[in-house]
Amino acid sequence: MKTINLKKYYYPLFVTDTLIEVSDEVAEALLLMRREENNRTHKIWYHKAYYSLDCEDGIENCAFDFTAKSPEEILLEQEEEQLFLATLEHLSEAMDNLTDIQARRIHARYILGKKLIEIAAEEGVSVSVVQQTVKSGLKRMRNYFEKKKWRE
């Protein structure tokens, strides 16, 4: 059995020294809690994470550890992730429906982030041909989505 001072752990509630005896496990748990709190405070101070000027950056939430998610938020995130994965599968299937040239150029344009000029230079064709191929490929993908009733 160890003797602890409640003022040390629960200051706003205990303003005077209140000594009690607790088991070793409880004393160890209180000590660990105190260390974690001090570590979190030091982390906030070191990284100057009192607030963030970025929109939705979340650094202050991570630093203060206010991000304990409710079961509802966890379910919503899982649903969003499933919807995202289903959309990726649909896009992959629609890309498989394109010609090889259309698929290659759309992949280069939107996945790799290349400009039409770069794609045209790599393939040795004019920019207008690449632009027309990408446009017709996107139209074909849109029609495929409408045919499968994936588009809302």
Q: Which of 16-30, 60-74, 75-89 has the lowest mean pLDDT?
A: 60-74
Last residue of a domain, one of 64, 84, 108: 64
* pTM of the predicted protein model: 0.51
For residue 92, the tally of other CB atoms under 10 A from its CB is 9
> CA distances (Å), 96 to each of 69, 125, 129, in order?
38, 23, 21
In this structure, the answer to whether residues 101 and 142 fall within a common structural domain is yes
pLDDT tens by residue, 109-146: 998 999 999 999 999 999 999 999 999 999 999 999 88
In this structure, the answer to whether residues 28 and 80 fall within a common structural domain is no
Total residues found in the chain within this entry: 152
In this structure, the answer to whether residues 113 and 136 fall within a common structural domain is yes
In this structure, the answer to whether residues 26 and 11 fall within a common structural domain is yes
In this structure, the answer to whether residues 129 and 84 fall within a common structural domain is yes
pLDDT at 42: 85
In this structure, the answer to whether residues 59 and 86 fall within a common structural domain is no
In this structure, the answer to whether residues 93 and 137 fall within a common structural domain is yes
In this structure, the answer to whether residues 80 and 51 fall within a common structural domain is no
pLDDT at 149: 84
In this structure, the answer to whether residues 77 and 137 fall within a common structural domain is yes
Residue range of the domain that includes 78: 71-148
Give the separation between CA 71 and CA 82, rounded to whole angstroms.
17
In this structure, the answer to whether residues 52 and 11 fall within a common structural domain is yes
In this structure, the answer to whether residues 82 and 144 fall within a common structural domain is yes
DSSP reduced 3-state for 19: strand
CATH number of the domain bearing residue 122 = 1.10.10.10
